[in-house]
Structure 1
Amino acid sequence: MKSTPIEVNHTTKQGQAALWSKIVNKYVLEIILLVIILSMTFASPGFLTTDNLLNILRNMALQGCIAFGMTMVIIAGEIDLSIGSTVALTGVIVGLVSGWLSEAGWMGIDQAALVGIVVAFFAAGLLGLFNGWILTKYKLPSFIITLAMLNVIYGLAAVVSKGFPVTTLPSWYSVIGSGKIWSIPIPAIILLLVFAVVFVIMNHTKFGREVYAVGGNPESARLSGIHVTRVKIICMVAVQLCAALSGILVSSQVMSGSFNFGKGWEMLVIAAVIIGGTSLMGGIGKVWGTFIGLIFLGVLINAMVLLNINEYVQYIVRGLLILIAVLITAIQFQKKRAR
């Protein structure tokens, strides 16, 4: 029995509608981002300028470096709420070590700052190792562990700095957070480098596949011969090292270290990761999605500032975005399970 032209046409239209629906579901964030960019181009003449776009990238770098590390952690089925406090502690450590070594006459302040950077990364690595050890040894929720560590690290940064900004830093240190290479801010370049490294690790290495497996089903991963404990600890260390890098960037921009730096950053970082499509349930997510999530948040925040939208309204908008992103991810996950 042959199909009539009307039936064929109806089937073709259904297929096209299904295809468009699939494309919209897959690239919904990119479509919304494009709409915001086009709208802001007409609403604010200063939006689509080279200086403003580079400024968005520079501002994104501070939380963005941490977001890529957080993507690894969340895909592995965990979370780290202590990263904001690590940002503060890092800047304080660099300043204190620079001051101690230079004032003691052991070396010049230029060399002392380099030692301070190394010590800061080492301290962040130890914090990540400790979080991972508690997590895997005692099977406690990472949410609780890192929430407690958020306060511990914050208090430690306040105690060692005695509640005052630490400003014993060499002049060259400002270049890290405020310098430019070929008119491109160095923080933006560092952000792209971190993105590239994490992207390669998660998409083109055995370890990356293990992270997805551990987040998807830890018991199945263990039975497959994957060292679940090692994978989770490495992810917890990685996000802390990313937080240390961000702490160095922010302390470089203001040429001081303070226990107040990084407060509340964990929410913005997690927002970028979730908006980018990474599931809080673990095992699902993409580094590229996090990058798009960062650009989305960066453009949105920049747009609200240019339009003089009330600061408190901006908090409402960010909160609603996180909620919507979580709902979209949950719905997509349920659809996949139903299939």
Structure 2
Amino acid sequence: MAIDVQTTDSRSIFKLGILRRFVLEMILVALIVFLVVAAPGFASVNNLLNVLRAVSMLGIIAFGMTVVIVAGEIDLSVGAGAAMAGCLLGWVCGTLTNTTGPVPAAIIGCAAAISVGALCGLFTGKMREWFNVPSFITTLALLTALRGFANLISGGFPITTFPRGFSFFGAGSVAGIPFPVFVFAAVFGGMHLLLNFTSFGRAVYAVGGNAEAARLSGIDVFGTKTGTLVVTGALTAVSGILIASQIGSGNGSTATGMELNVVAAVIIGGTSLFGGKGRVWGTLLGVLFLGCINNGMILMNVSEYWRYVFSGATILGAVLLNQILEPAR
């Protein structure tokens, strides 16, 4: 009996495509099942809500970072940017409360923090456009500079001049669900729509896939890249504000190393570091994956040092898996 080789190959490619598209979902489900069995208390409602609260601050930045990496750039300053936002907010509240009142001072502080975050993204984009300085270098410099500014503002000590009730935004709940989760969900929805249903999102994929072809097609390459960096800078400040609200202070040492976890979540979610490929849904899964692993290892009393080792192995494994399944695209 004759065998239709073309049909067989098509079916194999289709199966690989399905595997490639849903492999992270399957791994996440398997991880959750394992942790439900192996980690005491993992499946409790309170613990799962704590996991969601913990990943919300990370995820808000990671969704922005996805867009940046898809556009072929990277931002290594997000951890320092989050610390800077919290310290700037605290400083503004302490300076203006007696003049404007606590609530207006907090509103002005939030606006100032988000504006500074966006300006940092604009600065990185313009350095790339005007002087061709890679975003890796500019944001590496900002990582140090913003951390320094945060400590200068705070004097090296936590700033606790927030108005009464401000802790709700980071530590409060609505209908039993942590408030940061609502912000997390809103940012996810907004970034998903931005990437998939707008001309800007199409430009991001085009620029990340082939910048020269995008330029010849009339797309403003540097404008698009700068736009992604501005969005991520603003989202970084939002996350920093929520963190400051949760811990009750602006602190220059907040979110140390957070940039590595953000990039890890994006990579685990299947976004290519070479640009042009990635999805916000994948980043959501990557954030949940990291949150579940970290929480599960804590519940199982795994040494902090082994947690670092396992996190590194997870990142490498995710990259290798994406490389192995790449032909299925």
TM-score range, shorter chain: over 0.9
Alpha-carbon offset, residue 208 of structure 1: 0.3
Alignment partner of 1:213 is 2:206 = yes
| Other-structure match for 1:229 | 222
Determine helix, strand or coil for the equivalent of 1:115.
Answer: helix
| Other-structure match for 1:47 | 42
| Other-structure match for 1:185 | 178
User: Would the alpha carbon gap of residues 13 and 46 (structure 1) be closer, same or farther in structure 2, given more than 3 Å must change?
Assistant: farther
Determine the C-alpha separation between the residues in 2 that align with 1:222 and 1:231: 11
Determine the C-alpha separation between the residues in 1 that align with 2:220 and 2:311: 37
Determine the C-alpha separation between the residues in 1 that align with 2:237 and 2:11: 49
| Other-structure match for 1:81 | 76
Please tell me whether Structure 1 or Structure 2 has the larger radius of gyration of its CA atoms: 1
Answer with 11-20 or 311-320: which moved more. 11-20
| Other-structure match for 1:313 | 306
Residues 26-52 of structure 1, C-alpha deviation per residue, up to 9 Å, x if partnerless?
A: 322111111111112222351122221
Determine the C-alpha separation between the residues in 1 that align with 2:136 and 2:203: 22
Determine helix, strand or coil for the equivalent of 1:27.
Answer: helix
Percent identity between matched residues is 44
Determine the C-alpha separation between the residues in 2 that align with 1:99 and 1:180: 26
Q: What residue identity is the alignment partner of 1:186?
A: F
Alignment of 1:105-144 (within 5 A): 105-144=98-137
| Other-structure match for 1:35 | 30
Alpha-carbon offset, residue 19 of structure 1: 5.1
CA contact (8 A) 2:16 2:325 kept: no
User: Would the alpha carbon gap of residues 114 and 11 (structure 1) be closer, same or farther in structure 2, given more than 3 Å must change?
Assistant: closer
Q: What residue identity is the alignment partner of 2:44?
A: T
Determine the C-alpha separation between the residues in 1 that align with 2:297 and 2:11: 36
Aligned residues: 329
| Other-structure match for 2:148 | 155
Alpha-carbon offset, residue 131 of structure 1: 0.9
Determine helix, strand or coil for the equivalent of 1:283.
Answer: coil
| Other-structure match for 1:100 | 95
Structure 2 residues without counterparts, runs of 5 or longer: none
User: Would the alpha carbon gap of residues 324 and 109 (structure 1) be closer, same or farther in structure 2, given more than 3 Å must change?
Assistant: same
- 1:261 alignment partner, one of 254, 264, 271: 254
Determine the C-alpha separation between the residues in 2 that align with 1:87 and 1:250: 8
Alignment partner of 1:286 is 2:270 = no
Alignment of 1:312-331 (within 5 A): 312-331=305-324
- 2:52 alignment partner, one of 53, 57, 66: 57
Normalised to the residue count of structure 1, the TM-score between the two structures is 0.92
Determine the C-alpha separation between the residues in 2 that align with 1:245 and 1:180: 17
Alpha-carbon offset, residue 127 of structure 1: 1.0
| Other-structure match for 1:25 | 20
- 2:189 alignment partner, one of 190, 196, 210: 196
Alpha-carbon offset, residue 172 of structure 1: 1.5
| Other-structure match for 1:248 | 241
Q: What residue identity is the alignment partner of 2:34?
A: S
Alpha-carbon offset, residue 55 of structure 1: 1.1
Alpha-carbon offset, residue 110 of structure 1: 2.2
How large is the RMSD of aligned CA atoms in angstroms? 2.0
Determine the C-alpha separation between the residues in 1 that align with 2:34 and 2:152: 47
Determine the C-alpha separation between the residues in 2 that align with 1:324 and 1:276: 12
Normalised to the residue count of structure 2, the TM-score between the two structures is 0.95
Determine the C-alpha separation between the residues in 1 that align with 2:323 and 2:207: 19
Determine the C-alpha separation between the residues in 2 that align with 1:167 and 1:23: 51
Alpha-carbon offset, residue 13 of structure 1: 8.9
User: Would the alpha carbon gap of residues 280 and 12 (structure 1) be closer, same or farther in structure 2, given more than 3 Å must change?
Assistant: closer
| Other-structure match for 1:145 | 138
Determine the C-alpha separation between the residues in 2 that align with 1:41 and 1:14: 39
Q: What residue identity is the alignment partner of 2:284?
A: F
Alpha-carbon offset, residue 330 of structure 1: 3.2
Structure 1 residues without counterparts, runs of 5 or longer: none
| Other-structure match for 1:298 | 291
Residues 182-206 of structure 1, C-alpha deviation per residue, up to 9 Å, x if partnerless?
A: 1110011110000000000001101
| Other-structure match for 1:239 | 232
Q: What residue identity is the alignment partner of 1:129?
A: L
